[in-house]
Structure 1
Amino acid sequence: MSANDPGHINDLSKDQEESLKNFWISIIDKITNKNKISLEDFYDSTYGNELFNLFASDNPDVVLLRRLRARKWNVNLALEQLINTLEWRFQWGVNQLVAKGESELSYQEILTGKTFYIGYDRFGRPINYISVKNHIKGQFPSETTEKLTVLSMEIGRKLLHCPVESVTLIFDMTEFSMKNMDYQHTYFLFNLLQNYYPESLGLALIVNAPWIFNRCWYIIKRWLDPVVENKVHFINNIDELTKFIDLSNIPKHLNGNKPDFNYIPPTEQDNIMLSAFQNDFSGNKKARENHQQASINYLRITYQWAQTNHNKDLLEQRKKAMEQLRDAYEQLIPYITTRTHYHRYGLIEEPIFYKTYQRIQQENQQESVHF
């Protein structure tokens, strides 16, 4: 699915747009009333801060529309799911994980290549390959595997390019045996997809599944929403797989032309830049203040827009406010996230890391001259 499909940002009916507006009003009222705060204090509340971290550089409407579609346009149910997501992100520490990045993971588990992104499918969706044979239940603590999975979810968001709004999962079942079957983690994965990252799965392909997986699938599919289950397809050979993915984006171990996953560890330059960002207290403070101001401005205009029928001036103001919010978040990126394998591999491009580092260097040089 993409931004141009019915029920998505570029193709909303009048009723769907009205539901979106009501959702916005419900969110703002819920958070301000719960904490007895004004819009100006919204950002500093736990839910408010988590909400804008959830938005990141996405269009906030797109994030909310995911919840509305997942809950069949029932605003109350969508609000419940969103609040549950914000609580989960806060309690689970998603922002802290994203800030520390790969350093928070098990290096040896990354090297297994059990999960990785390579290329895009024929619909423009980023592909997350899961090599099931490389996951051995109990080899690593479940907590570290869950962190690897959540970070992969967050990385997947950065790989999306408008109008695409979802990813493709490839479960490579080659050489699968029951030692690889981890029901607990499988449930964790699909719970993430259905409740905390709704509507982010576009397609799931189970490739080369042996007959012993049939009884496993009988258990797993009972956990799935019918909409999610309908996105799952079993693939038996390369000809079937190439209907969804070009050979150039299929790894060689699956008979494609793409080089197999080979993790690229942080470089010395990565570490130098990270240290510079961590010690740039004034830049960090300024970026956070700008993001806070942009968030409050966007929220104020959105609240007004949600309570009107059709106001061209408010629509234009809201569009500009969203662009300002996105720009402000971009300036914040080096201080709240880190570069990953996918930056070094070239799959994610975030030039703001280099721009910010160059600015810090120039400021330090100027201070040295004045000293």
Structure 2
Amino acid sequence: MGMANQEAIKQFQSLMDKVDEPLKNSFKNVHQGFLTETLTRFLKAREWNVAKAHKMLVDCLQWRVQNEIDNILAKPIVPTELYRSVRDTQLVGLSGYSKEGLPVIAVGVGQSTYDKASVHYYVQSHIQMNEYRDRVVLPNATKKWGRRIGTCIKVLDMTGLKLSALNQIKLLTAISTIDALNYPEKTDTYYVVNVPYIFSACWKVVKPLLQERTKKKIQVLQGSGKEELLKIMDVNSLPHFCKQRGSGSSRVVAAANGTTTTTNCYSLDHAFHQQLYNYVKQQAEQEESYSRLLKQGSVHVNFPAPDPEGAMIATRIESELHKLGDSNGFNNSFSRLQVNGM
């Protein structure tokens, strides 16, 4: 790390020492003991501009305090069948680890429908997975591999991506904005697989809008990407959709001990989601809040406004999808998903 970067970190830390106590307390949950690494993440996200990185981090901490994010892992989505519906329509899961110890997060972009629960449940679930990743998964990986592991790999499955994806743009923009502003630089590489024409068309117009730092993180692979992905992870960590066709169903296989397990890391029956859901319920029970939550609805989180780059990308994608609809004879009567007036 160069002298200029070290000086930027020093200035940044000095500014953070002056924030109010509630923000300092929340910051502990963000950095998890890795202060310098966390400051570096926010500096990278703002091209090493200390003033902009400081504003970004303070805004993040205020968002966490105002929305009680530090306590969100004690707020389960109940009953269980509602959470199962969320998992069946918001396809995300941990399939394993890379050869370097980075968690491999699988995302079923094309087949996620987000149509079995309110928007707020999907946002709540997404934030809980982020927090569980940062507070449990990454610290455990760090301990297991004996070195700091602070990022993950994401494999994005575009199988089934259709023009109707326009219906989810508002929600996906809200989720991606939450990630960009509050969980920056947590993904090492995005691998995009099973790419249909509709993605290729959108990617062509979106790629020029991305910052060079972001472009370098995205790799669009041929087909299922299996051969390329096996260079960085073993077959047991490969997402199920890279092994066989169709990513939407839960495939159950017999284990060596005679029990059964699902190979679909999206499913609530998968070990990762069982551990996550049980962890959240245990946290709630420790706070004696589980019975109270049974009578409550979803956690409502304020969605930050998209930054200019994110807003422009969403607009371009929406425009491109409309063009594709026109060229294929569709009437563009897509239903609009409203998210807090967005």
For the aligned pair, the TM-score class normalised by the smaller chain equals 0.5 to 0.7
Q: Partner of 2:75: helix, strand, or coil?
A: helix
Q: CA deviation at 1:101?
A: 4.1
**SS of alignment partner, residue 29 of structure 2:** helix
TM-score normalised by the chain length of structure 2? 0.64
Q: Is the 8 A contact 2:191 2:221 kept in 1?
A: yes
CA distance in 2, matches of 1:171, 1:107: 21
Deviations along 1:272-311, one digit per CA (max 9) or x if unpaired, are 965762359xxxxxxxxxxxxxxxxxxxxxxxxxxxxxxx
What is the deviation of 1:92?
Answer: 3.3
Are 2:286 and 1:277 aligned?
yes
Unaligned residue ranges in structure 2 (runs of 5+): 245-252, 254-261, 290-342
Structure 2 equivalent of residue 203 of structure 1: 189
Q: Choose 158-167 or 217-226, whichever is displaced more.
A: 217-226
Q: CA 1:76–1:113 in 2, change beyond 3 Å: closer, same or farther?
A: closer
- The one of 79, 89, 92 equivalent to 2:67 is 92
When residues 190 and 270 of structure 1 are mapped into structure 2, their CA distance, relative to the original with a 3 A threshold, is closer
Matched, 1:150 2:127: yes
* More helix as a share of residues: 1
1:26 aligns with 2:7: no
Given that residues 235 and 241 in structure 1 are in contact (C-alpha distance below 8 angstroms), is that contact kept between their aligned partners in structure 2?
no
2:76–2:281 Cα contact (<8 Å) kept: no
% same residue: 20
Q: In the alignment, residue 29 of structure 2 is paired with which amino acid?
A: N
SS at structure 2 position matched to 1:134: coil
- SS across alignment from 1:171: strand
Secondary structure class of the residue paired with 1:17: helix
For 1:240 and 1:201, the matched residues in 2 are separated by: 18
- CA 1:63/1:278 → structure 2, altered by over 3 Å: closer, same or farther? same
| AA aligned opposite 1:99 | A
Q: Does 1:215 align with 2:205?
A: no
CA deviation map 1:236-278 (0-9, x unaligned): 23223323332221133421799222424589x9799657623
Question: What amino acid sits opposite 2:5 in the alignment?
Answer: Q
Letter in 1 for 2:117: F
What runs of 5+ residues in structure 1 fail to find an aligned partner? 1-11, 33-41, 281-371
Rounded to whole Å, the distance in 2 between the matches of 1:111 and 1:202 is: 26
Alpha carbons of structure 1 residues 93 and 214: separation in structure 2 relative to 1, 3 Å? farther
Can you list the C-alpha shifts for 1:303-333, whole angstroms capped at 9, x where unaligned? xxxxxxxxxxxxxxxxxxxxxxxxxxxxxxx
Q: State TM-score, norm by structure 1.
A: 0.60
3-state SS of paired residue (2:93):
strand
- Which residue does the alignment assign to 2:137? 159
Higher relative contact order (CA 8 A, sep 6+): 2
Ranges of 4+ aligned residues in structure 1 off by more than 6 Å: 269-272
Q: For residue 78 of structure 1, what is the aligned residue in structure 2?
A: 53
Deviation of 1:102 after TM superposition, in Å, equals 4.9
* Matches of 1:69 and 1:272, distance apart in 2: 35
Shift of the 266–69 alpha-carbon distance from structure 1 to 2, 3 Å rule, reads closer
